Structure 1
Amino acid sequence: MQPLKVVVIGGGAAGFFGAITCAETYPQAQVILLEAGRQPLTKVRISGGGRCNVTHACFDPGGLVQYYPRGGKALRGAFSRFQAKDTVAWFSDRGVELKTEPDGRMFPVTDSSETIVDCLFEAAKASGVQIRRETPVDGISRQVTPELNQPLNTGFEIKLKSGEILKCDRLLLATGSNPQGYRFCKVLGHTIEPPVPSLFTFTISDPRLQDLAGVSVESARLRLFSAGKTQLEQIGPLLITHWGLSGPAALKLSAWAARVLHDCNYQATLQINWLPQYNPEKLREMLFAVKSQLPQRAVSTSCPLPLPRRLWQSLIAAVGISGEQRWAELSNKVLNQLIQELSEGKYQIQGKGVFKEEFVTCGGINLKEVNFKTMESRICPGLYFAGEILDIDGVTGGFNFQSAWTTAYLAGQAMGKEEIKN
């Protein structure tokens, strides 16, 4: 019998992990990985500022799925079979130890993405995966029986741009958000949820944020308004930049609101509560306390709240408090305006920025068309998916890599089986 031939298209994290898993699990199979570019694993190299945020230290599948704006429900069962602790163990077994940072992100102890890249290359080589670089694919079709002109249960013809034809029994598509990958899926009968950006920063031009680039708060609550309605909210650290807002709170909100913001052309109202740990009554109590205890102090230099000095000075100026005004000079009306500014200030989102080099999209293969026990297509037997080509995306923190490792592992475990049900 001829060995089972498996082709993986896409040399990113999901493609490598799926190919390695298949080759290690089924040594008799012939596994070929096709990468269009010269250098595979590009996103792995640049992730986490070149350190590679491999996964997140959330080891409960039920908790892990909460970090996925899209795909969490489908991943619940998948994470029960391969989750973050399995990723940690996989790399540890191959000599790569991971460390956990205070925010839960996990990196190699070397703080170098090259450690992860080298590990994946070595594992691929050791398991016999054939890696073909600079091998772009031009088209994919099902093999057909000449007599009946009907698709076989398995079998694909892959036409390379060089003109070469490859035939395989199983095919894993791990092409990320590449439009050509979506085109291949459509040809093979799949539905694509339109891809739109996720994980981005907010472009905001507002005098209150001017000259505050680099200022951050440990916790802020962001509420998004579109078409006059409260759409979504997030809470977490917030960073002011020279173009607007970034940091975990903004990035998480951008992920959960990816489609809402796309539909309104990234023009929306953002409400910021700079001190969500205090309700308005507590804020009033704290402001009136300093007014009565330190009436002759300048408001600008005696902030009673845990806010960065420059941010405090900008917010009091926004309600008309001058730099020389003393607490005793503030009316109740002005104090109420200040409380509102601190807890309900509204800012206009005027566009989106890019979060470092880590471009993430929502959209991709409709998840109802995929069996999440095996990652096999429910429409085209023998076809598998892994990684960002699926309509799955997570917030920042290692979650997108974890869904890639998980879906690729499940696909690799299933692809090498000799028989596939129609």
Structure 2
Amino acid sequence: MLFMYDLIIVGGGAAGFFTAINAAEKNKNLKIAILDRGREVLQKVKVSGGGRCNVTHACFEPTQLVNYYPRGNRELLQPFQQFNPTHTIEWFESRGVRIKKEADGRMFPVSNSSQSIIDCFLDACRKNCIEIITNTRVESIEKQDGQWQLHTIGNRQYLAKKLMIATGSDTAVWKLLENLGVSLVSPVPSLFTFNIKDERIQDLMGISVENVVCQLSSAKNKILTTFSSNGAILITHWGLSGPAILKLSAWAARELRELNYDFEVIVNWLGKTDIEKIRQHLHQQIGNQPKKNVLANAEFGLSIRLWKSLCIASGIGEYQKWAETGKKHISRLVEQLTASRFSVNGKSTFKEEFVTAGGVELAEVDFEKFSLKKYPDIYMAGEVLNIDAVTGGFNFQAAWTGAWIAAQHL
């Protein structure tokens, strides 16, 4: 059976739907179909942000926005000047989905439900007569008589003048692109948490520390100086998570894969505070509070449980007073506070939001149109490209931007 369209979009996720809707609204005469391999579409949208959908981030200046993208930051600068979080908010709100900003800059539907986004997309597809075809895996892509022919499971054939590939990290589709001579960067995980077994944190699950500074080191104590981050850290039952850790996992995704996720993370629990001032403060406690129990009186705003753990790791006894604390104890405590070394052995996916680094080589893409240089009638957006970001709504923003620009040229 042969089905003919003006535009076929392979992939029923955020980038695919956004392309379809914007293309249809720009040209009402286009016959458009979305093909998806699964039974249900928009599954990643559904689980994003704990089911609330982190639509975008309140970073409205393109030159700042690109700094959240370990891969693709240079290529996204001009596209973000055309369509950025300001435009994303306007787009959704013009369709009845109000967006709110949270304290950390993440932006969600006011409804606190990703279903608001899904309903918005499905309603727009109905209004624009966009066909949604599920349970349809593309097995081959070929050019015939100036049109693209797609063969799918079930001996169905689809013919289209133009294609949008928005399949994310589906490596089966990546293989089809390679067959067309398109260069790809092999996928590696990004946005993951660090698996750590260490007495200092094993009973501290749920403790969060703000404004921590982290740095990576290889197992051979070689400091990976390029990779450091600051922000909040969350102690979990499997190790360390939180924004500071996730930033590191994104920026060092390939290097950590090469180390087989066997490395060290160095944590400065006190952030960018001057180390000598910390040392001075601790020495002053010996004179100011000689009779106070060291473990029972947390310093620097740390939680009492974390403070106690770091003190014990410094060799300070459970009933030790400040008057009994000498230079060696102080030096060890300063080290634990500002340079706690944790051995990492493995990673865990960050919630349901699995993100990969890798995809179509960026040199293959014309970012004025988000089309392939080799095949100008094949467009791409979203995670199929070698573009990824830290957590906070940035990956969705890259998808919206690429999809919107592609739709203007389709």
Q: TM-score, normalised by structure 1?
A: 0.94
Aligned match of 1:303 in 292, 298, 301?
Answer: 298
CA distance in 2, matches of 1:176, 1:130: 20
Summarize deviations over 1:294-335 as a string: whole Å, max 9, x none: 100100111232111100000000011111000000111111
1:386 to 363, 381, 388: 381
Counterpart pick for 2:224 among 211, 230, 237: 230
Quick one: distance in 1 between partners of 2:223 and 2:267? 15
The 8 Å contact of residues 70 and 250 in structure 2, kept in 1 or not, is answered as yes
Residue correspondence of structure 1 range 18-417 to structure 2 within 5 A: 18-144=19-145, 152=146, 155-226=147-218, 227=220, 228-231=222-225, 232-415=227-410
What CA RMSD, in Å, does the superposition of the two structures yield over aligned residues? 1.1
Matched residue pairs, number?
Answer: 404
- Equivalent pair of 1:181/1:389 in contact (CA under 8 Å): no
For the Cα contact (< 8 Å) 1:286–1:304, is it kept in 2?
no
* Unaligned ranges ≥5, structure 1: 145-151, 416-422
Taking the aligned partners of 1:351 and 1:4, their CA distance within structure 2 comes to 46
Give the AA of the match of 1:251: L
Q: Deviations over 1:252-298 (max 9, x none)?
A: 11000100100000011111100023211110121122221110010
Shift of 1:377: 0.5
1:394 and 1:194 map into 2 onto residues whose CA distance is 17
Secondary structure of the 2:349 match is coil
For residues 304 and 36 of structure 1, what CA distance do their matches in structure 2 show? 55
Which stretch shows the higher mean deviation, 193-202 or 285-294?
285-294
The question of whether the paired residues in 1 share the 8 Å contact of 2:138 and 2:173 is answered with no
CA distance in 1, matches of 2:245, 2:378: 37
In structure 2, C-alpha distance between the alignment counterparts of 1:247 and 1:299, rounded to whole Å: 28
SS at 1:211's partner residue?
A: coil
The structural deviation recorded for 1:341 is 1.2
The alpha carbon displacement at 1:229 in A equals 2.9
SS of alignment partner, residue 343 of structure 2: strand
State the one-letter code of the partner of 1:212. L
1:40 partner SS: coil
Contact 1:31 1:129 in 2 (8 A): yes
CA distance in 2, matches of 1:336, 1:252: 30
Secondary structure of 1:63 counterpart: helix
Paired-residue identity, %: 45
Shift of 1:95: 0.5
Which residue type is aligned with residue 221 of structure 1?
Answer: V
Check conservation: 1:189, 1:380, Cα contact below 8 A: no
Provide structure 2 residue ranges, at least 5 long, that are not aligned to the other structure: none
Say which is worse superposed, 46-55 or 120-129, in terms of deviation: 120-129
Q: Give 1:148's aligned residue.
A: none
State the Cα deviation string for residues 3-53 of structure 1 (Å, max 9, x = none): 971000000000000111111111111111111111100000000000000
Partners in 2 of 1:336 and 1:166 — Cα distance? Answer: 70
Kindly provide the amino acid, as one letter, of the partner of residue 205 in structure 1. Answer: K
Q: Deviations over 1:348-382 (max 9, x none)?
A: 11110110001000000001110111011001131
Where 1:314 maps in the other structure, the secondary structure is: helix
Q: Secondary structure at the residue paired with 2:379?
A: strand
Contact preservation (8 Å) 1:220, 1:274 = yes
SS of 1:288 mapped into structure 2 = helix
Distance 2:5 2:33 in 1: 11
The answer to whether the Cα contact below 8 Å between 2:5 and 2:33 also exists between their aligned partners in 1 is no
The question of whether the paired residues in 1 share the 8 Å contact of 2:297 and 2:304 is answered with: no
Asked whether the 8 Å contact 1:290–1:304 carries over to 2, the reply is no
Q: Deviations over 1:178-235 (max 9, x none)?
A: 1112012112221010100000000011111110111110111110012513241000
For the residue of structure 2 that corresponds to 1:218, the secondary structure is: strand
Question: 1:275 and 1:181 mapped to 2: Cα distance?
Answer: 46
Q: Distance in 1 between matches of 2:368 and 2:126?
A: 27
Structure 1 contact 188–380 (Cα < 8 Å) conserved: no
CA–CA separation in structure 2 for the residues paired with 1:412 and 1:99: 26
